[in-house]
Structure 1
């Protein structure tokens, strides 16, 4: 089976840093790489192996547009926005293939395979990111629990006020 088979393609926009503008196109994922091709000219603006990725994040550009950012080993940051069907779906799929590649066996043929020490650092970074995500989720759930408690207290107060009004 060829490793160049396209897993999925999503319509989206890519932020072109040199021109300071968003370019519409398609983001394509293969088992080993990610590339962005413009709609207008069909030019490939970005094409890099998943093994060169250090970090994948959900971010907001200008605090409005939900985006996915991908940081490569050479510290080049790529911004993708207007993702269809949604940022979360695209993020989950790309992250799945990236993690699978990180966790692949050392004997597997991987583009730009790295040393065990580098893989260890990547896995440690992955664990730290997962821990941070769990901590963030815990804080959000705790805050939501406090909101639900506040709502329950408000409803109890309204119920007691209605009981007084009925008398």
Structure 2
């Protein structure tokens, strides 16, 4: 699946099924690949994999093999991005090694008497802005691209469309993974 080879995907899936592997185990592995390998390139892959896991819990073999093939082929044929995997790994390493960043006062609950006296004011609601985005600090000291770096490849992927939206709304380029930088091919 990771290598985008549908025939190899079906061969190895058939080997697992033929050897008697529990369809729930196979569906769990497909679910992991949906996020780890496809990720934001095609955010419907996770939905397909989750549906397959639910389906195999209700149908079993031999019909489950069709459900598993459907999900596995979706993963194999989908564009790939591991930006979510890389990003959470970088964020987890940072959280483990650095002091906690305090929640900015404007992000703290301001819905009670006395909140203003504590400085819990100034939050700007993105939905109130026609762009759906406002510039404000959400994590002081964290720089754009420090954790999340886009793998947006081609205009048809969810991630590439999200990058284009971000750049249009903010006027700032979305940080890209080093392998996606112009001239790095």
Q: TM-score range by the shorter chain?
A: under 0.3
Structure with more of its chain in helix, by fraction = 2
Larger RCO (CA under 8 A, 6+ residues apart): 2
**TM score, norm. by length of structure 2:** 0.24
**TM score, norm. by length of structure 1:** 0.26
Computing the radius of gyration from Cα coordinates, the structure with the larger value is 1
